[in-house]
Amino acid sequence: MSELRDLYQEVILEHSKKPKNYGELPSANHKAEGYNPLCGDHYTVFLDIKDGAIENLSFHGSGCAISKASASMMTQSLKGKTTAEAEALFTQFHDLVTGHGNPAEDMGKLAVFAGVSEFPLRVKCATLAWHTLRAAIRGDQEAISTE
Amino acid sequence: MSTAVKTPRPAPAVGSPAYDVQKIRKDFPILHQQVHGKPLVYLDNAATTQKPLAVIDAISYYYRHDNANIHRGVHTLSERATEAYEKTRVAAQKLINAADSKEIIFLRGATEAINLVAATYGRKNVGAGDEILITAMEHHSNIVPWQLLCEEKGAKLRVAPINDRGELDIAAFEKLLSAKTKIVAVGHLSNALGTINPVREIARMAHAHKAVVLVDGAQAAPRMAIDVQALDCDFYAVSGHKIYAPTGIGFLYGKTELLEAMPPYQGGGDMIASVTFDKTIYNRLPYKFEAGTPNIADTIGMGAAIAYLQDLGLDNIEKHEAALLDYATEQVQKIPGVSVIGTAKEKAGVLSFVIENIHPHDIGTILDHEGVAVRTGHHCAQPVMQRFGIPATARASFGLYNTHEEVDVLVRGIRKVIEVMS
C-alpha cells in the first residue's frame, strides 16, 4: 500500500481531478499532440512562446490520473521559464521518474512524481505530456507517440 | 488497511461435480506464486492462457528425446517427430470437428490464419468493387488484413453495426450482404465484450449470397465446444496460446474444396511435390500451406493442450466459466460507479468494465498491487471503444482454473481502487 500511496499522492489525485491550465490556449503559437496507443492517453499541449520564453501554456485531452496530473503540474511549473530551462527540467523530470539520480532541489512540487520510479510501466504515463511539450517547443509536426 | 466491505457470500458449488478446480490448479505451476506479496489471481486469459504441466513436459520431452526434422529423414527420430506432429493435426481436427485432418493448417496463430486467407483466397477471389463484410466488434487482426486486401484490390470493407449491449445487429448485417460480398469475417466470441456471435445464422445468410465465411475463433476455442461442420463456416482460425498451448502456434481450418483451389501462401520446402526451374508442383493438402520447417515442438505442445482440454471436457469448462462470469458480473455491478461494457445475452469468459472518473490504467496498476492480473486498454479493438465512447476498459477474463474466491479478490480489489483514487 505504501508504494501505491507514493504513486497516488494527494497532490497527484487533486491535479488529476481538477487539472490546472486545462483547455485550449487562444494565444498559442506552438502546439503538439501526444498519444500513448497502449492505453489510449491523448493530450495536446499549447504554448505561447515569446523571445525564447514560455509566456503561457495549457493542455487538454484525456488519460489516466498519472498522465493528467503530470500534464497539469508541468504547465504550472513552466510558466515564465525559457525553452532552454524547460528542456533542462524535462531531463530532470525524466531522471526522477526513471529512478536516475536524486530529485534536483529546484524541481519543487514535481518531486511528488518520484514514486513513479517504482512502477516502470507507468513511466510513459508520467512523461507523455513532457514529450509532447518538447515536440511543441521544437515544432515537430508529427504527433508524438510513446510507442 | 482495513475495509468496511462485508465478506461476499460464499461461492456456490457449480458445474459438473467431477470438475475439481483445486485439483486442476495443481496442473498449472505458474499459478502458485505471489505478486506484490499477494497470491497471484490471473484474470487475463483472453490475452493468453497459462500452460499445464502436460504441455510444458511435452515440449521438454520432445527436445530431450525426439527432436528431428519432419516429413523427410528415414531415421527413427524423424519418424517419431513426424508422428507426434501429425498426431496434433488429428487432435485439432477433433477439437473443432473438421471432416478431415488435411483441413487443418498449422500456422503461428489466428492472426496468421486470417492473413493467409486474405492473401490467398482473398487475392484470388476479391476484385475491384467487391465487398468484404466484418462486424463492429472485431479484433484488429480481423480488420487490418481485410483493409490491406481492399486497398490492394480496390474493394470495399463494410462493417455491420452492434447495439448498446454489444450484440451484432443481425438485420443490419443481412442488409449489408449482396452479390458484391465475397468474404464475411466475424469473431466467434468478442475479446473486448465477450459477445458470442450467431455464427451458424451468419454463415447461412452469407452463403445465400455466395460469400465465404471466416470465423476468428481465437476466444471461442478455449471456452466452448466447436463444431465447424455444424456451424458451416468455410474457415476457422485458432491461436494455440489461447487454448493453453504455447505461443507461436495455432491453426487454420478450411473446407477442402476451398483450400484445394487456393494458391499457396508461402513458397519453400515441404510445400512442394517437385521442383524444376521450369515448373513447380505444389504438395497436397495440408502441406501446400506449410512451407519450411515448422514450429514442431510447439505444435506437439499444442497437441498436449488439446488432449488436456478434451480430458476436462469443453462442455464442463464452458459451464465452469459461465458460473464464474455470472458471479463476477453480479458482484461487480453491486459496486457503485462500476459499469459493465458488453452485456450481450449470449456472452462468455470476458468481463469488461469501467469505473466512473477512474482511468482503466490506474485500475490495472492498483489491482496488480493486489495480485490481480487484468488487461487494461483498448484490447486491440479500438472501434469497439469508439462505439461505446470510452478510451479503454479494464477487462477480467476467465480461464478453466479460476475460482469463485478469485472473483471475490477481484471485487475487493475494485473497491480498493475506488478507495485509493478518491
Contacts of A42 in chain B (CB under 8 A): 391
Task: Identify each DSSP E strand in B130-173 by its residue range.
Answer: 131-135, 156-160
- CB-based contact, A11 to chain B, within 8 Å: no
Cβ–Cβ contacts within 10 Å for residue B128, how many? 8
Mean pLDDT computed over B316-342: 98
The C-alpha of A81 sits at a distance from chain B's nearest C-alpha, in angstroms, of 31
Contacts of A38 in chain B (CB under 8 A): 377
Residue B285 confidence class, pLDDT cut points 50, 70, 90 = very high
- CB-based contact, B4 to chain A, within 8 Å: no
The C-alpha of A9 sits at a distance from chain B's nearest C-alpha, in angstroms, of 9
Q: Which residue has the higher pLDDT, B392 or B26?
A: B26
Residue B263: per-residue pLDDT: 95
The answer, yes or no, to whether residue B260 has pLDDT greater than 60, is yes
Q: Using the beta-carbon criterion (under 8 Å), do B360 and A1 form an inter-chain contact?
A: no
The answer, yes or no, to whether residue B8 has pLDDT greater than 60, is no
Closest residue, chain A, to B391 (C-alpha): A40
Mean pLDDT computed over B250-278: 93
Percent of chain B with pLDDT over 70: 96
Residue B4: per-residue pLDDT: 47
Mean pLDDT computed over B145-164: 98
Contacts of A13 in chain B (CB under 8 A): 421
- CB-based contact, A18 to chain B, within 8 Å: no
Domain boundaries, chain B: 21-32+313-421, 55-311
Collapse the DSSP code of B218 into the 3-class scheme (helix H, G, I; strand E, B; otherwise coil) and give the result: coil
Spatial distance between the Cα atoms of B410 and B330, rounded to a whole number of angstroms? 13
- State the cell numbers at A47: 504554448
Percent of chain B with pLDDT over 90: 88
Residue B10 confidence class, pLDDT cut points 50, 70, 90 = very low
Spatial distance between the Cα atoms of B89 and B306, rounded to a whole number of angstroms? 10
Distances from the Cα of A87 to the Cα of A129, A142, B66, angstroms: 13, 19, 59
Residue A141: per-residue pLDDT: 56
Residue B12: per-residue pLDDT: 46
The answer, yes or no, to whether residue B126 has pLDDT greater than 70, is yes
The answer, yes or no, to whether residue B174 has pLDDT greater than 90, is yes
Residue A143: per-residue pLDDT: 67
Taking the domain B55-311, which CATH number applies? Answer: 3.40.640.10
Spatial distance between the Cα atoms of A55 and A63, rounded to a whole number of angstroms? 26
Instruction: Give me the residues paired with residue B34 across strands.
Output: B39
- CB-based contact, B420 to chain A, within 8 Å: yes
Distances from the Cα of B56 to the Cα of A11, A70, B90, B243, B333, angstroms: 47, 44, 20, 14, 38
Mean pLDDT computed over A19-31: 96
3-state secondary structure chain B: CCCCCCCCCCCCCCCCCCCCHHHHHCCCHHHCCEECCEECEECECCCCCCCCHHHHHHHHHHHHHHCCCCCCCCCHHHHHHHHHHHHHHHHHHHHHCCCCHHHEEEECCHHHHHHHHHHHHHHHHCCCCCEEEEECCCCHHHCHHHHHHHHHHCCEEEEECECCCCCECHHHHHHHCCCCEEEEEEECECCCCCEECCHHHHHHHHHHCCCEEEEECCCCCCCCCCCHHHHCCCEEEEEHHHHCCCCCCEEEEECHHHHHHCCCCCCCCCCEEEECCCCEEECCCCHHHCCCCCCHHHHHHHHHHHHHHHHHCHHHHHHHHHHHHHHHHHHHHCCCCEEEECCCCCECCEEEEEECCECHHHHHHHHHHCCEECEEECCCCHHHHHHHCCCCEEEEECCCCCCHHHHHHHHHHHHHHHHHHC
- CB-based contact, A120 to chain B, within 8 Å: no
Instruction: Give me the residues paired with residue B235 across strands.
Output: B214, B254
Residue A23: per-residue pLDDT: 97
Cβ–Cβ contacts within 10 Å for residue A117, how many? 18
Domain boundaries, chain A: 2-142
- CB-based contact, A118 to chain B, within 8 Å: no
Specify the amino acid at residue B242: K
DSSP letter at B162 equals B
Distances from the Cα of B412 to the Cα of B34, B146, B296, angstroms: 17, 42, 43
Residue at grid coordinates 482503466: B360
Closest residue, chain A, to B359 (C-alpha): A64
Residue B74: per-residue pLDDT: 86
In this predicted model, what pLDDT tens digit does every residue of A90-120 receive, in sequence order?
999 999 999 987 766 678 899 999 999 999 9
Spatial distance between the Cα atoms of B152 and B421, rounded to a whole number of angstroms? 48
Contacts of A7 in chain B (CB under 8 A): 365
Is B150 annotated as catalytic?
no
Contacts of B120 (CB under 8 A, 6+ apart): B262, B263, B264, B265, B289
Instruction: With both helix axes pointing from N to C terminus, report the angle between A123-138 and A83-97 in degrees, rounded to the nearest 10.
Output: 160
Closest residue, chain A, to B363 (C-alpha): A64
Residue A5: per-residue pLDDT: 86
- The length of chain A is 147
Q: Using the beta-carbon criterion (under 8 Å), do A64 and B359 form an inter-chain contact?
A: yes
In this predicted model, what pLDDT tens digit does every residue of B70-123 receive, in sequence order?
987 789 999 999 999 999 999 999 999 999 999 999 999 999 999 999 999 999
Mean pLDDT score across all residues of chain B: 94
In this predicted model, what pLDDT tens digit does every residue of A39-90 receive, in sequence order?
778 999 999 999 999 999 999 999 999 999 999 999 999 999 999 999 999 9
Catalytic residue among B55, B238, B259, B380: B380
Mean pLDDT computed over B225-253: 98
Cβ–Cβ contacts within 10 Å for residue B315, how many? 12
Mean pLDDT computed over B122-150: 98
Taking the domain A2-142, which CATH number applies? Answer: 3.90.1010.10
The C-alpha of A100 sits at a distance from chain B's nearest C-alpha, in angstroms, of 22
Instruction: Give me the residues paired with residue A42 across strands.
Output: A35, A62
The C-alpha of A91 sits at a distance from chain B's nearest C-alpha, in angstroms, of 25
Angle at B241 between CA B238 and CA B247, to 5 degrees: 115
Taking the domain B21-32+313-421, which CATH number applies? Answer: 3.90.1150.10
Residue B271: per-residue pLDDT: 87
Mean pLDDT computed over B49-66: 98
The C-alpha of B93 sits at a distance from chain A's nearest C-alpha, in angstroms, of 36
In chain A, the N- to C-terminal Cα span, in Å, equals 30
Distances from the Cα of B62 to the Cα of B151, B239, B248, B309, angstroms: 43, 21, 17, 20
Spatial distance between the Cα atoms of B153 and B155, rounded to a whole number of angstroms? 5
Residue B3: per-residue pLDDT: 44
Mean pLDDT computed over B193-222: 98
CB B394 within 8 A of CB B376: yes
Closest residue, chain A, to B385 (C-alpha): A40
- CB-based contact, B38 to chain A, within 8 Å: no
Q: What is the pTM of this model?
A: 0.92
Q: Using the beta-carbon criterion (under 8 Å), do A41 and B391 form an inter-chain contact?
A: yes
Distances from the Cα of B289 to the Cα of B104, B120, B263, B282, B317, angstroms: 10, 10, 9, 9, 32
ipTM summary value: 0.88
- CB-based contact, B72 to chain A, within 8 Å: no
* Lowest mean pLDDT across B30-34, B77-81, B269-273: B269-273
Spatial distance between the Cα atoms of A37 and A96, rounded to a whole number of angstroms? 24
Percent of chain A with pLDDT over 90: 76
